[in-house]
Structure 1
Amino acid sequence: MTASKSPTPLLFLASFGLLALGTIIWWSRDTGSSFSLAPSLAKLPAAMRQAAPVAPVQANWISPLRRSCDVLDQKQRQHLHMLLADLRQSPGRVKVDPSNYGERFRQDAFGNPVDPTPQLVVLHETVYGIASAINTFVTKHPRDDDQVSYHALIGGDGAVIKLLDPSKRAFGAGNSAFNGQWVVTNPNVGGSINNFGLHVSLETPLDGEDNDSEHSGYSAAQYDALAVVLAEWMARFQIRPENITTHKYVDLGGERSDPRSFNWQALQERLQNLGLLC
């Protein structure tokens, strides 16, 4: 007599899978829960992600810039538009060392999706001369604590030095947040606004190369240049005026005070003449 063949392992596994599926469907029907295999499997990775730490409580930023459609000075308006055209046609950038910047992340350190589009502009000052700042950015820094960069510098004479393309993540602010928002890209060092921020720094006047709370302030040429840099970024990324802030505000350590002696009214007039506050 010929011996009967035993079921193949594949047939056994298929039978077991059908039994398990029937049991789950029966359980969900019996408990009144809905069951859908594909959506449940699709949601599983998200369910397994770790929630990102919440930024420390901070007072909401109240922008000194006011909404207005009035053009205050037609001559200045024409001058600023000429500067803007020159900025868009200006040559390449200073080559920042790769240790001082990074790519923008699309996920935080815990696998949660984040928007890398620039949404915020942070104003800084150099404290020392612009040549010193550039030297820092082009120098390789193996230590994380020494790595720093901005997207643009503005000299005392109004010259704009382009550093990083806005698509890159500058290391302009360490432990930082804006209106309670940050992105944690390294769980060992807390969160930062760098992933969605743009950084521009004004050269500090000579009498400000110290730790005093104020100095003589920035030149009219610097405010002109700052206005056109902001105009370029605001148009490119649809950044709102109320999302122009200071290093002092975003810094969670309370150690930064820049840009000191900043004249918000000077910026208000220029952005208003460019029609960016309407």
Structure 2
Amino acid sequence: MKARFHPLLPAAVGAAALVFAGLGWLLSGLRWPAPQLSSDRLLEMLQANPTPSRPATPAPRPPEAPAWQSPMAALCPAVDGDLVERMAGLRLNQRSIRTDPTNYGERFERDAFGNRLDPTPRVVVLHETVYGIESAIATFLTPHPRDEDQVSYHSLVGLDGQVVQVLDPSRRAFGAGNSAFQGKWAITNPKVGGSINNFALHLSLETPLDGEHDGPRHSGYSAAQYDALALVLADWMRAYDIPWENVTTHRHVDLGGERADPRSFDWSALKTRLIALGLAPAC
């Protein structure tokens, strides 16, 4: 059967075309403001919405640096039954804070060159606050839009043994800038070079009052801090199968040679507690 032709059809089609053309012209004139994103945030978004894959480029390796040898390896402290019993009975006194999102990120599964990364924590870095614990907390709660101002740890340990969880261990803390551990780093932000943050856990000890300076030493940390430190490490070591040899310092991993923390740290005090918890060998 022959199709019927309506005389008004060409006019209707022409009108619709004019409407769509006008809408296209109007929308093309609009300018939507683009959000300001740090390079790490932008890479996180790109990983969440990947573009078609391209061949990965080999990432630069970190510069040569001395290998880490834990000071605990040379220590053979005596551990009595009382310490074992006391450590077994201790429980963490812990609270959490809501760290501002500018001060941390998610762990990356690919680096800036497209290479796969293992984001599983496998090293613990010890720090100190230099100032009081409340000053550190205030810093983490404050928004820092600029990359160079952003900082965080996973946990803080106060002089009284109180633990403040700054971040869940699954998140990436901004605890070390240009850094490497045992010849490993991950380059997720090419502007700052490589860092261990993607596979590290960071813990900072509150500095005693006589250490609020840039000198090489202070009076040291309290027994309550070493107790709490050992308990936090025990949780992390068991959860992620981190060996005691991979508990290191900010001083060691820093490639700029500018960090000295944690100053006046007593490795024997830590090892006795790890032995008591069954997480380090007696000798």
- TM-score under structure 2 length normalisation: 0.78
Out of 65, 69, 80, the position equivalent to 1:73 is 80
Aligned residues: 229
Structure 1 residue 123, shift from structure 2 partner: 0.2
Name the SS for the 1:191 alignment partner. strand
8 Å CA contact 1:109–1:186 kept in 2: the answer is yes
Alpha-carbon distance in structure 2 between the residues aligned to 1:205 and 1:91: 20
Could you tell me which amino acid in structure 1 is paired with residue 217 of structure 2?
A: E
Structure 2 counterpart of 1:172: 175
Could you tell me which amino acid in structure 1 is paired with residue 145 of structure 2?
A: P
Alpha-carbon distance in structure 2 between the residues aligned to 1:100 and 1:257: 22
Alpha-carbon distance in structure 2 between the residues aligned to 1:152 and 1:228: 12
Structure 1 residue 70, shift from structure 2 partner: 8.8
Out of 249, 254, 262, the position equivalent to 1:251 is 254
Alignment of 1:123-138 (within 5 A): 123-138=126-141
Alpha-carbon distance in structure 2 between the residues aligned to 1:236 and 1:114: 19
1:52 correspondence with 2:59: yes
Alpha-carbon distance in structure 1 between the residues aligned to 2:78 and 2:107: 37
Alpha-carbon distance in structure 2 between the residues aligned to 1:91 and 1:178: 29
Alpha-carbon distance in structure 2 between the residues aligned to 1:197 and 1:157: 25
Query: Judging changes above 3 Å, is the alpha-carbon distance between structure 1 residues 180 and 269 closer, same or farther for their aligned structure 2 residues?
Result: same
8 Å CA contact 2:173–2:202 kept in 1: the answer is yes
Alignment of 1:18-29 (within 5 A): none
Alpha-carbon distance in structure 1 between the residues aligned to 2:215 and 2:113: 40
Structure 2 counterpart of 1:238: 241
1:155 correspondence with 2:158: yes
Name the SS for the 2:189 alignment partner. coil
Could you tell me which amino acid in structure 2 is paired with residue 212 of structure 1?
A: G
Alpha-carbon distance in structure 1 between the residues aligned to 2:114 and 2:174: 21
Alignment of 1:76-155 (within 5 A): 76-83=83-90, 86-87=91-92, 93-155=96-158
Structure 1 residue 79, shift from structure 2 partner: 2.1
Structure 1 residue 82, shift from structure 2 partner: 2.4
1:266 correspondence with 2:266: no
Alpha-carbon distance in structure 2 between the residues aligned to 1:177 and 1:266: 26
For residues 84-119 of structure 1, the C-alpha deviation after alignment (integer angstroms, 9 at most, x for no partner) is xx33xx665211000000000011111100100000
Structure 1 counterpart of 2:222: 219
Structure 1 counterpart of 2:185: 182
8 Å CA contact 1:233–1:239 kept in 2: the answer is yes
Alpha-carbon distance in structure 2 between the residues aligned to 1:221 and 1:129: 16
Identical-residue share of aligned pairs (%): 61
Could you tell me which amino acid in structure 1 is paired with residue 72 of structure 2?
A: L
For residues 15-59 of structure 1, the C-alpha deviation after alignment (integer angstroms, 9 at most, x for no partner) is xxxxxxxxxxxxxxxxxxxxxxxxxxxxxx67x211111101101
For residues 172-205 of structure 1, the C-alpha deviation after alignment (integer angstroms, 9 at most, x for no partner) is 0000000111000011210000000000000000
1:201 correspondence with 2:198: no
Could you tell me which amino acid in structure 1 is paired with residue 268 of structure 2?
A: Q
Alpha-carbon distance in structure 2 between the residues aligned to 1:219 and 1:69: 21
- TM-score under structure 1 length normalisation: 0.79
Query: Judging changes above 3 Å, is the alpha-carbon distance between structure 1 residues 69 and 212 closer, same or farther for their aligned structure 2 residues?
Result: closer
For residues 223-246 of structure 1, the C-alpha deviation after alignment (integer angstroms, 9 at most, x for no partner) is 111111100100000001110000
Give ranges in structure 1 of 5+ residues lacking alignment: 1-44
1:61 correspondence with 2:68: yes
Query: Judging changes above 3 Å, is the alpha-carbon distance between structure 1 residues 169 and 194 closer, same or farther for their aligned structure 2 residues?
Result: same
Name the SS for the 2:124 alignment partner. strand
Alpha-carbon distance in structure 2 between the residues aligned to 1:224 and 1:185: 35
